[in-house]
Structure 1
Amino acid sequence: MKREDENAEVNVTTVKRFVLLGFSDLPKLQGLLSAVFTIIYLTILIGNSLIIIITSLEPALQKPMYFFLANFSSLEICYVSVTLPRMLFNLWTQDRSISLLDCATQMCFFLMLGATECLLLAVMSYDRYVAICNPLHYPLVMNHKMCVQLAVGSWVSGIPVQIGQTWQIFSLHFCNSNLINHFFCDIPPILKLACGDTSVHEVSVYVVVMLVAAVPFMLILASYSKIISTILRLPTATGRAKAFSTCSSHLLVVVLFFGSAAITYLRPKSNHSAGTDKLLSLFYTVVTPLFNPMIYSLRNKDFIAALRKLFLNRMVH
């Protein structure tokens, strides 16, 4: 824990390095946590990579839905790689210190990729809306150019906003403590360490969350209200079941991701408890990327058929 004193007139201790406490309050479980998170990280990498490979190689999966799913899997690999490797390093070495610059960089990438996830989930719901509500126009509307534009827009739209947000938060003075009671540099635990009144920054966090999370979430709700009303009007039970099965996986990921993230970022600072924050953060940083391959692939007959075909071809050759 390194701290550097400024001159006596200012009488403020400026933090130059932070310490990520992570799960240090569970000293007897460090080895177990290290093993569990290593297995989880490898599972996320392998599972999501498999989705990218299969959707790229299998001609039957050259459809907009799988194009966006490959993008989503790429995003999940990037998203989890911002937090988990650092957490594993801290568990393996028990060296929990992190420089101010590294902390700001981690937060910036985490926020940018989080914004991308919100937008990409909204794009995926729009894809399902067009497929179910306007099936005849689907090939025309969701052509390759449109899919690429929507995917690129999702990846880049949040970048300037989140760079600005990170810069604003790290322009604060940190003089209370340098102990971050979290496993990565997230906004709520960082704001707790800031000196003085942070209410303006809290308001700006709310505004950004409304912009990059609430707006996509409202678009998802609008899409699904149309989708559900269309599905309910289908004449056969089989048709309804088939239509809903193509959406249910996406809906589950939406609830998991948006639910835990909203509770974390939209509660007042005074209501934050470190234990709850860590638990909720695990949901949207680890659980969603872990379950993504299982949720999407195990519930999708086309994907299972493509997976079986790929492995059979490998065994034959």
Structure 2
Amino acid sequence: MSFDEGAVRVVRADKGSVLVAPDDGLEPLRAVLDRDGLAALDDGRAVPTVGDWVLVDDADGEPHVRQVLPRSSALVRDSAGATSREQVLAANVDVVLVVEHLDPDSDLGRVERLLTLAWRSGARPVVVLTKADLVPDPASMAQDVGAAAIAVEVHAVSAATGAGLEPLRALLTPGATLVVVGPSGAGKSTLVNALAGRDVMSTGERREQDGRGRHTTTHRELVPLPGGAVLIDTPGIRGIGVVADEDALATTFADVAELVALCRFADCHHEGEPGCAVADALATGELSRRRYDSWRKLAREAAYQARRADSRLAAQERNRWKKITQEYQRGMRGPGRPRG
């Protein structure tokens, strides 16, 4: 087929190539990355990821990705390891489904961490609490999670029985893109299958020792759904590095941000200063110690990541000018001219 008619969407990204899906209903085709020709986007070098819209041509007989179109949103995490590089998990997403299990008990800190990533992406977060059929009072547990998910819809669901899925199906409007994120064993693939109405992702059996499902998803993949929406399933996230800005943290922790604004001193460290509204709220129980510690931890991580990113950008700029200088010097010497 010819790729002259416009953009196609990345349904799966692998090293050196991607699978792209044309709008004409044909099977996805593999296209090679033209890394030297790809332009940089605002969020870094434009290596395409799942959900990206790209321009592809096959003028030389083999499909090549020539351009990644600007993203309306990007779900970004800090990469593992000591580097400051960021990983774009999904692009052009409308809704981020933050999936957490009710059995075993939900990890509120992890929910807050994923919500911060979701708010920073520019997409709308929705919390989905799975395995509601395995606990005696899912509604009460959902209220507890809701206290840590301010201004976010929280739904307790059971993919096994179908309970609670209708509010999620209402999100699957034509043209909508949703991404599912959460830990291994939270039932993300089972949830995707339930929303798709068929088995589109493989699932694992539930482990007896801890009640969790086995880790089955090993890559990110865009799944088309009946009605025109698409879902992006992701592998379980073990270590979730935060790439956040002040607005994302302030949205996730709106209650803490409100207290910080009431402190007497603008540079209050909340460590015994007079007139500290945060300390007063901790003393009265208005703000829980767990919530405060989670906010402090994420704020420190975000600040550290920002410092590393600044160092990386500075190094890239130095390298860029070094190459410009080298090219200029070569041009001044001309062909065959001696160095000295």
TM-score by length of 2: 0.22
Structure with larger Rg: 2
Flag the structure with more relative contact order, 1 or 2, with Cα contacts below 8 A and sequence separation at least 6. Answer: 1
